[in-house]
Chain A
Amino acid sequence: MRIRAARARGLAAVVCASVLTAAPRTKMTCGTCHRAEAESQPKTEMGTGLLLGEAQAPLKAHPKLTVEENGYTYEIERKGGVSMYTVKNAAGSLTLPIRYAVGVRNLTFVLEYENRYYESLVSYYEENQALGITIGDQRLHPHSLVEAMGRLQTEADLTECFGCHATRAVSKGKLTLDALEPGVKCEHCHEGAEAHLEALANGQTAPVPRKLGQMAAEDMSNFCGQCHRTFETVVGQGVFGERNVRFQPYRLALSNCFLGDDRRIRCTACHNPHEKLVREESSYDRACLKCHAQKQDVTMEGATEKACPVGEHNCAGCHMQKMQVPGAASVFTDHFIRILRAGESYPD
């Protein structure tokens, strides 16, 4: 595996060198040198975390969705290539176009009304292919059509939302929706990628973006946690109880096996950010066994932690609970890796 990664890095360097010597120079993109990543990443969950217009496939597949919540009727209907979000009750109705559908498997909508932005009070959930109350909004009891339509977003809310689900949507802490590119693109994580491309176009390599692959677990949790929420963010915001199961870096940090200076428990030990999320639990066994020796192979290099007395397959199935966020039709994998006890309350 290491050899393959080193070869891939070497290949990128060779490609870069060949690009630099080639004449005439063609317009360079990240994919010129990093072809595999550039091809696969846009199809990943992160690459498709914000859907605009025609890309809103779940809404196209379900041209009319309806749900009754809080005494209001919500309807999302596809009309002339645009999905329209309607909320109505006996007093009247409000219809707005869905420009931004935010999320991966579940979609929440950012709606514009009278020059302000609102987060829709209902979302689309893939699990049951239906609308339901947006996670976190269960406690709201709207008193008007506008309140029922959505939750008013502050500049900070929008910066956080678009800053993670899009690229170039935020510049120097300010919202720049005109420049927005949907989803997470190379530049989003690899800060300086554009300057690197520019340098290459001028026959140089420097500056080279920071090598993210060198980070150990704590640093990587903080890096990925900029969007997936770090320990500091979750605790600082006081997000306690089962709703914080969504925030993987926070949950992972609570695990006994989380060693901040070790690479074997960092985010990319299990997840390749350039590939689609692997949902087959057994495929993660390899990562667990890097530390926890198999019973028949206690001498495995580096595997210094004790072997599981129960099994060696589907580790995540037992040690990473699947949980539904209360009130929402979403199931998350709890990244607090632990020995689960029968009847235990949610630990956090």
Chain B
Amino acid sequence: MRGKRSVRAVVSFLTFVFAAGTGHAATFDELAASAAAARRSNQLAEAIGLYRQAVDLKADWAEGWWFVGTLSYSLNRYQDCETAFQKFVRLDGSRVPGWALLGLCEFETGNYDGARTDLARALVPGSDLSKDLEPVARFHYGMLLTKAGLFDQGRRQFEPYVRGGSPEPMLVVAMGINGLRRPWLPEDIPADQQDLILKAGKAACAWVTRDTTAQDTFRELLNSYPAAPGVHLLYGMYLSAQPEEAQAEMRRELEVDPHSAAAHAMLALSLMPGDMAGALEHAKKAAEKTADPLVDYALGKALVETGALAEGIARLEAAERTDPETLMYHMTLAGAYSKAGRVADAGRERRESIAMARGANAN
């Protein structure tokens, strides 16, 4: 404790000396040393000031920008943090934690598009994010994907942590928003829908963990909110191994929300391969409602299976372009290319699929 006080005293003295401008202009090395001392003694605001002075002298000092960024993040100064990490990644773009922290700052400042792009860079397979940083980055990335309407991609970010057991309340909420396919962040949830989101989140988590109580959590959700958009869709997806029950739920969803493109798309996928005419009809209806990777995928698959190869492939390519991280899109596209005799394209997609699946397993 005494040691900490003495370090603080030294830092305060040095800070005073530099700030007072005693005639001795601090060198870069002196500033760097006193910034580090301030940081180590937990005088974060002082440390930020000293690091700033140091990077003013040496603008290509990546470590300095790193500390300006991380310390600003600790003090919730997200705008400063964002600026610092922008400088940092410009100097050293190979260090993925920089992209992760930049993305997290952008999330806080409301620059959601930038945050999504930069978090994606940080989360490329094989990146060396620490065990502390990766869950935070992935959780925020999942929320951003959900907000952007990329629900399946978003859900995949959450799933490993849900499977880890006892998901934290924020994760349950995120799973609820995602499960009901609402393009929201948690702060966007209307007050009268908080319980709905929570119940949906519990059901979605129980599904992912294959919890024996999954059926009960879904029953509670259905009983409480039988007419809420997204509820029957989520339950139908849970029942996908039982096509008839799944289809019935999708049809109920369409009664609740006739404009649900996702329900039409999921119904189309569920009808394949037994009822291709029905599948194609629903996939086309889905495509009338919205442009969405799931919709493109359902229509593309239905078209390919009914012989409209070129048109189907174009749809599948669109789905893959919008959501390149969904393995199924790559695999189905590989099959479609193969059917069309496009051997090289099929081979490329198959190799890509295997690499993605291997990456997912490694994680």
Contacts and interface: CB of A to CB of B under 8 A. Distances in A.
Chain A complexes with chain B? yes
Given A172-B243, A261-B341, A236 B335 contact: no
A216 B347 CA distance: 17
Interface in B138-197: none
B152 to A, nearest CB: 14
A238 B361 contact: yes
Interface stretch (A46-54, A86-94, A252-260): A252-260
B244 A238 contact: no
Interface in A185-238: 216-219, 222, 231-232, 235-236, 238
Interface in A228-281: 231-232, 235-236, 238, 240, 253-254, 256, 258-262
Interface in B335-356: 335, 337-341, 343, 346-347, 350, 353-354
A239 to B, nearest CB: 9
Interface in B314-363: 327-328, 331-332, 334-335, 337-341, 343, 346-347, 350, 353-354, 357-358, 360-361
A348 interface: yes
Nearest to B347: A256
Given A172-B244, A219-B339, A231-B334, A260 B346 contact: yes
Contacts of B42: none
Interface in B85-106: none
Interface residues of B, number: 26
Nearest to B341: A261
B361 to A, nearest CB: 5
B347 to A, nearest CB: 8
B339 A236 contact: no
Interface residues of A, number: 25
A231 B331 CA distance: 8
A254 B334 CA distance: 11
A44 interface: no
B339 A260 contact: yes
Contact of B331 (A217, A236, A238, A256): A236
Contacts of A172: 242-244
A253 B331 CA distance: 12
Contacts of A260: 335, 337-341, 343, 346
A216 B350 CA distance: 19
A253 B241 contact: no
Contacts of A159: 241
A222 B241 CA distance: 18
A249 to B, nearest CB: 11
Is chain B's interface secondary structure helix, strand, loop, or mixed overall?
A: helix
A172 B354 CA distance: 31
A260 B340 CA distance: 7
A236 B357 CA distance: 7
A172 B244 CA distance: 7
A206 to B, nearest CB: 17
B338 to A, nearest CB: 3
Given A231-B335, A238-B361, A173 B241 contact: yes
Interface in B287-335: 327-328, 331-332, 334-335
Contacts of B340: 260-261
A311 B254 CA distance: 62
Contacts of A256: 343, 347
11 contacts: A173-B241, A174-B242, A217-B338, A219-B339, A222-B335, A231-B335, A232-B328, A240-B358, A240-B361, A253-B350, A261-B341
Task: State the 6 A-B residue pairs at the shortest beta-carbon distance, nearest first.
Answer: A260-B338, A261-B341, A173-B242, A218-B338, A238-B361, A232-B331
Interface of B: 241-245, 327-328, 331-332, 334-335, 337-341, 343, 346-347, 350, 353-354, 357-358, 360-361
Given A156-B241, A173-B245, A219-B339, 14 more contacts: A172-B244, A173-B243, A216-B339, A231-B331, A231-B353, A232-B335, A236-B331, A236-B357, A253-B350, A256-B343, A258-B338, A260-B341, A261-B338, A262-B341
Interface of A: 156, 159, 172-174, 216-219, 222, 231-232, 235-236, 238, 240, 253-254, 256, 258-262, 348
